[in-house]
Chains A and B, each alone.
Chain A
Amino acid sequence: NAGVTQTPKFRILKIGQSMTLQCTQDMNHNYMYWYRQDPGMGLKLIYYSVGAGITDKGEVPNGYNVSRSTTEDFPLRLELAAPSQTSVYFCASSYSQGGEKLFFGSGTQLSVL
Chain B
Amino acid sequence: AQSVAQPEDQVNVAEGNPLTVKCTYSVSGNPYLFWYVQYPNRGLQFLLKYITGDNLVKGSYGFEAEFNKSQTSFHLKKPSALVSDSALYFCAVRGGGTDKLIFGTGTRLQVFP
* B-binding residues in A (CB < 8 A): 4, 31, 33, 35, 40-45, 48, 50, 56, 58-59, 90, 92, 97-99, 101-107
The residue on A at minimum CB distance from B45 is A104
Are A101 and B94 CB-contacts (below 8 A) given A35-B103, A42-B106, A43-B103? no
Please report B residues at the A interface, Cβ cutoff 8 Å: 6, 9, 32, 34, 36, 41-46, 49, 51, 90, 94, 96, 98-106
For B51, what are the chain A residues with a Cβ–Cβ distance below 8 Å?
A: 98-99
Is B103 a contact of A42 with CB atoms below 8 Å?
A: yes
- If over half of A's interface residues share one DSSP class (helix, strand or loop), that class is named, otherwise mixed; here it is strand
Q: Select one of B49, B94, B104 contacting A42, CB under 8 A.
A: B104
Given the contacts A48-B100, A102-B101, A42 and B90 also touching, CB distance less than 8 Å: yes
Residue of A nearest to B102 (CB): A45
CA distance A29 to B102 in the complex (A): 19
B38 to chain A, nearest CB (A): 9
Known: A48-B99, A101-B34, A102-B34. 19 other contacts (CB 8 A): A4-B43, A33-B101, A40-B105, A43-B106, A44-B103, A56-B99, A59-B100, A90-B43, A97-B94, A99-B49, A101-B49, A102-B44, A104-B43, A104-B45, A106-B41, A106-B42, A106-B43, A107-B41, A107-B43
